[in-house]
């Protein structure tokens, strides 16, 4: 950066140069930048002196880029466009009229997406941004309205409401499950192809832990398909690639639709849960409160519907 500073002396010179090169006129560049034409001319001249090369061929009515100017313009224009996009994105973080929900791609795909029409019907003016990530970013630092987290309900500086207790059962494509023998037992499951979830950052349970809950330990589970995203795990399971973890709150609808089949009798309730989380330090805006309340209402409605079956 020190070398760049010496070469261009001021970022302002690059902005002035880009406008003059794009418009082909020092006068029009001055009008766009709301400065006087001599200021544009002086800025370009200073940049040429710093670089030791002529950037424009000047005539009475117009200016034309030299070969060196064309090279510089291509890179400067691209860099300034990227900076503009970044600045706009950062500016959006300060807005309070939209709602960001940060969750795993699986929760967004299989829990939120099927319910979005209901949200928009209840709150047609809501501007909701679904944000999927392979980590759990700091809610306050990244200005996230709401987030879904797996844990015990305690996160420093955050409020949390339970969405679902963690309950895991094996799921697979219906044709794979229907092809099992009548005397197929839990101890036979390790002989099947297993799909492993190996997220790089989030803490997630493993097949070893799941089998351990049922008293099956020391199993050779090194084989099978390994994926780092739960949405991909479910897609692989639906495609018949093997047995996968079925987090009940996500996979129950897929089982009901016949996209997956489940061994629901083999359920592990881990004692942990999935929670809707928001900042205790920064009060939620009115739109975020509506989304929070809508999600929690839907959770209660889903629970009531299941209890009536």
pLDDT for 308 beyond 80: no
Q: What is the mean pLDDT of the chain?
A: 89
Per-residue pLDDT of 268-295, as tens digits, reads: 999 999 999 999 988 888 999 999 999 9
Q: What's residue 215's pLDDT? A: 93
pTM of the predicted protein model:
0.69
Query: What percent of the chain lies above the pLDDT cut of 90?
Result: 64
Mean pLDDT on 13-37 = 91
Instruction: Determine the 3-state secondary structure of 138 from DSSP.
Output: coil
Phi and psi, residue 155, nearest 5°: -130, 125
Per-residue pLDDT of 294-305, as tens digits, reads: 999 999 988 877
Mean pLDDT on 109-126 = 91
Per-residue pLDDT of 141-184, as tens digits, reads: 888 899 999 999 999 999 999 999 999 999 999 999 999 998 99
103-112 residues labelled b (16+ CB within 10 A) or e (exposed): bbbbbbbbbb
Tokens found for residue 20: 């003059």
Pick the range with the lowest mean pLDDT from 4-8, 30-34, 45-49, 254-258: 4-8
pLDDT for 139 beyond 90: no
Q: What share of the chain is helix, strand, coil (3-state, %, to 5)?
A: 50, 20, 30
Mean pLDDT on 233-261 = 95
Residue 131 · residue 139 · CB < 8 Å = no
Residue 91 CB-density burial (10 A; 0-12 exposed, 13-18 middle, 19+ buried): exposed
- Domains of the chain (ranges; CATH) run 2-93 (1.10.10.10), 96-309 (3.40.190.290)
- pLDDT band for position 227 (50/70/90)? very high
Mean pLDDT on 202-209 = 89
pLDDT for 202 beyond 70: yes
pLDDT for 122 beyond 60: yes
Q: What's residue 86's pLDDT? A: 77
CA distances to 47, 142, 217, 239 from 17, rounded to whole Å, are 8, 34, 69, 55
Q: How far apart are the first and last CA of the chain?
A: 66
Q: What's residue 91's pLDDT? A: 62
Residue 23 · residue 53 · CB < 8 Å = no
Mean pLDDT on 17-39 = 92
Phi and psi, residue 284, nearest 5°: -65, 140
CA distances to 192, 194, 221, 307 from 248, rounded to whole Å, are 21, 18, 23, 15
Farthest-apart Cα atoms in the chain, separation? 93
Nearest CA to 270 out of 219, 206, 217, 220 is that of 206
Q: What's residue 85's pLDDT? A: 79
Mean pLDDT on 56-72 = 88
Residue 231 · residue 104 · CB < 8 Å = yes
- pLDDT band for position 1 (50/70/90)? low
- pLDDT band for position 93 (50/70/90)? low
Q: What's residue 221's pLDDT? A: 82
């Amino acid at each position: 950066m020190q070398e760049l500073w010496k070469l261009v002396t001021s970022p302002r010179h690059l902005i002035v140069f880009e406008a003059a090169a794009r418009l082909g006129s020092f006068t029009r560049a001055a009008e766009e930048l709301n400065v006087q034409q001599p200021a544009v001319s002086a800025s370009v001249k200073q940049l040429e002196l710093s670089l030791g090369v002529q950037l424009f061929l000047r005539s009475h009515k117009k200016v034309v880029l030299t070969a060196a100017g064309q090279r510089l313009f291509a890179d400067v224009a691209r860099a300034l466009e990227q900076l503009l996009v970044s600045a706009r994105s950062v500016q959006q973080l300060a807005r309070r009229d939209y709602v960001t929900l940060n969750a795993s791609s699986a929760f967004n795909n299989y829990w939120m997406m099927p319910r979005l029409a209901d949200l928009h019907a209840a709150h047609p003016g809501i501007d909701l941004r679904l944000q999927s990530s392979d980590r759990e970013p700091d809610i306050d630092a990244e200005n996230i309205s709401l987030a879904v987290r797996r844990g015990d309900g305690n996160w420093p500086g955050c409020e949390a409401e339970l969405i679902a207790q963690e309950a895991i059962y094996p799921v697979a494509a219906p044709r794979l499950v229907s092809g099992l023998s009548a005397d197929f037992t839990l101890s036979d499951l390790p002989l099947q192809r297993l799909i492993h979830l190996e997220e790089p950052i989030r803490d997630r349970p493993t097949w070893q832990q799941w089998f351990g809950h049922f008293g099956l330990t020391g199993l050779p589970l090194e084989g099978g398909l390994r994926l780092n995203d739960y949405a991909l795990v479910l897609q692989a399971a639906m495609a018949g690639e093997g047995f996968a973890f079925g987090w009940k709150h996500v996979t129950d609808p897929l089982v009901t639709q016949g996209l997956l089949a489940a061994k629901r009798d083999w359920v592990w309730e881990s004692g942990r849960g999935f929670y809707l989380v928001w900042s205790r330090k920064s009060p939620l805006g009115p739109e975020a409160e509506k989304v929070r309340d809508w999600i929690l209402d839907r959770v209660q409605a889903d629970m009531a519907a299941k209890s009536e079956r």
